[in-house]
Chains A and B, each alone.
Chain A
Amino acid sequence: MNAMNAMNAMNATAALGEPVLTARDVSIEYEVDPPVKAVRGASITLHRGEILGLAGESGCGKTTLAYGLNRLLKAPALMTGGEVVFHDASGDDIDVVALDGEALRRFRWNKVSMVFQGSMNSLNPVMNVRKQLHDVFTTHRPAMKRAEREARSAELLTLVGVDPTRLSSFPHELSGGMRQRVMIAMALALDPQVMIMDEPTTALDVVVQRGIIREIMRLRERLGFAVIFITHDLPLLIEISDRIAIMLDGEIIEQGDAEQIYRAPGHPYTRRLLSSFPSLRGDRGDFIRTGVAAGGAA
């Protein structure tokens, strides 16, 4: 109950639940010459069951931040400051930055799972879907019996809208959309409380993309996990997120309700990003058919 006072004061919305993941002043550097400060003092609070959109252009640090939250950074990337705390459903707070060895292994995928960028191409091409799903259980749930693994794998595929007979399929026999659904099934396997999705639908056609987004929303309602949804597609984020954080050059320059970001953006960059997408049915945004660019040359 006392977690309530940890609620982010920035958000006036009453509907927000308790925080499930809090990051404060996270800084991440790539220790190359000269060092690159990829993330600078980023703070975010993810609430139980919410979709937090993380928007920004390539190179702004959004993927690096996501890796930091999940302790996936590899040299030369190094978290140089800040704290990440996972507020487990059991009531325990887990200091993610301090995790090590076996504790870290138990944390990953169990508590926070991830759908990686371009992950539909990261399935192992010489293993069928069954083997790759079972692999999650043999690693993280060694006590599970084979029949249980099989039943759970089939259940997961059904959950994401893929026919369980596809367990025997190899990745090349599946469409891009189906492969992405399998990746989501894999991320759901251990009932995580948080899923980080890094551009999960960017490479897919719009119609397929829409189907998968709808599936994610449906699963969230049913299973109650929270999502950090990373993309450069701001109109999509506005449509599906509860709250949105905008990143620019490693900093979170603005965060707020999706509605507030859309209707009353505070930062000039947010406004610029918004006006980069001409409206489908309404105004013309920055696009002027007669040719004179409002923003000038890029």
Chain B
Amino acid sequence: MSGPATATATSTLEARHLVKDFRLRSGTKVRTLHAVKDVSFTLEPGRTIALVGESGSGKSTIARMMAKLETPSSGEVLLDGRVSATRGGGLARYRRDVQMVFQDPFSSLNPFHPILHHLERPLRIHNPRLSSRQIRERAEELLERVRLSPAATFADRRPHELSGGQRQRVAIARALAPGSRFIIADEPVSMLDVSIRLGVLNLLAELQRQEHLGVLYITHDLATARHFSDEILVMYRGEIVERGPSEQVILDPQHDYTKTLLEAAADPDRLGRLRDDVRNGG
């Protein structure tokens, strides 16, 4: 499942000066929304970068540009230091290395197809020489790896027969299917029930370690960003306003916006403080 051994030494996925403008039309007026303004960072194998910020800060747009679902207005995405194609065979090769896990496991799986189909299809596309039996074996192996076990009992079910957490496990297995080296996970657990979120994040962390994956973890949840990533980038209105090692950004924030975000995050250790604060006229 892992990528070519020789590639890992120089393997990087780099965002270089990414800019994305959207033209918005309302009536006869056209205005430009600067969704992403000059963002650069580099993903490396075995490391996780968390991109945190509120909705509208541009983090999902970055995810979509990294996954080549969106074309940057300027700047580029470099895989192993090279600009890769935006369509055709070059894009297919890019997708073998870079895959995305979407936020909503209810809409990212096709309700008409059984679970097995969702895994066999990428396997077949990226491994045209494999026999049907080999494809099926690999698909079942993937199900086991994301702990949907025994695989045979999940293979023929359809998405609606699975819980949200199980569906997101399928989505993770699908992202791993081509033998990806980089995973872009856009709010992968925010739509799941709270008590299963950590299970899915733990799984992702475990697979990342085993496969030596580079992961871009997009979230608005600072607590999981801290624990799940090596580095945190804080986005505000299309720009990265603060970046650094996770512990440092959370425990010793420098930028005012990071401080505001941290202040707004629920923290049970501040039990009763808001009440006292309000009582004292705050």
| Residue ranges of A at the interface with B (Cβ–Cβ < 8 Å) | 57-58, 205-207, 209-210, 213-214, 217-218, 221, 232-236, 238-240, 258-259, 262, 272-273, 275-282, 284-293, 295-298
CB contacts (< 8 Å) of B272 on chain A: these are 239, 258-259
Residue of B nearest to A293 (CB): B202
B198 pairs with A287, CB closer than 8 A: yes
CB contacts (< 8 Å) of B202 on chain A: these are 286-288, 291-293
CB contacts (< 8 Å) of A293 on chain B: these are 198-199, 202-203, 206
CB contacts (< 8 Å) of A236 on chain B: these are 266
Asked whether any CB of chain A lies closer than 8 Å to the CB of B197, the reply is yes
| Contacts between chains A and B (CB distance < 8 A), count | 133
A272 pairs with B198, CB closer than 8 A: no
B274 pairs with A214, CB closer than 8 A: yes
Mask: chain B, 155-191; 1 = CB below 8 Å from A; 0 = not: 0000000010110000000000000000000000000
CB contacts (< 8 Å) of B270 on chain A: these are 239
A232 pairs with B54, CB closer than 8 A: no
CB contacts (< 8 Å) of B153 on chain A: these are none
Interchain residue pairs with CB less than 8 A apart (29): A57-B195, A206-B220, A207-B54, A207-B260, A210-B263, A217-B278, A218-B278, A221-B278, A221-B279, A239-B267, A239-B268, A239-B270, A239-B273, A239-B274, A258-B271, A262-B268, A277-B194, A277-B268, A281-B251, A282-B269, A286-B202, A287-B227, A289-B228, A290-B209, A291-B208, A291-B209, A291-B210, A298-B166, A298-B196
How far, in whole Å, are A295 and B261 apart by their CA atoms in the complex? 29
Residue of B nearest to A203 (CB): B55
A232 pairs with B266, CB closer than 8 A: no
A289 pairs with B227, CB closer than 8 A: yes
How far, in whole Å, are A196 and B273 apart by their CA atoms in the complex? 22
How far, in whole Å, are A279 and B250 apart by their CA atoms in the complex? 11
CB contacts (< 8 Å) of A207 on chain B: these are 54, 260-261, 264
B198 pairs with A214, CB closer than 8 A: no
A295 and B223 in contact, given A210-B263, A210-B264, A239-B271 (Cβ under 8 angstroms): no
A276 pairs with B197, CB closer than 8 A: yes
Contact residues of B: prevailing secondary structure: helix
CB contacts (< 8 Å) of B206 on chain A: these are 291-293
Q: Determine which of A214, A273, A281 lies in contact with B267 in the assembled complex, contact meaning CB atoms within 8 Å.
A: A281
Mask: chain B, 191-221; 1 = CB below 8 Å from A; 0 = not: 0011111111111011111100000000010
A281 and B266 in contact, given A240-B275, A287-B224, A298-B196 (Cβ under 8 angstroms): no
B198 pairs with A278, CB closer than 8 A: yes
A296 and B199 in contact, given A205-B220, A214-B274, A289-B228 (Cβ under 8 angstroms): yes
Q: Determine which of B166, B199, B267, B273 lies in contact with A280 in the assembled complex, contact meaning CB atoms within 8 Å.
A: B267
A298 pairs with B274, CB closer than 8 A: no
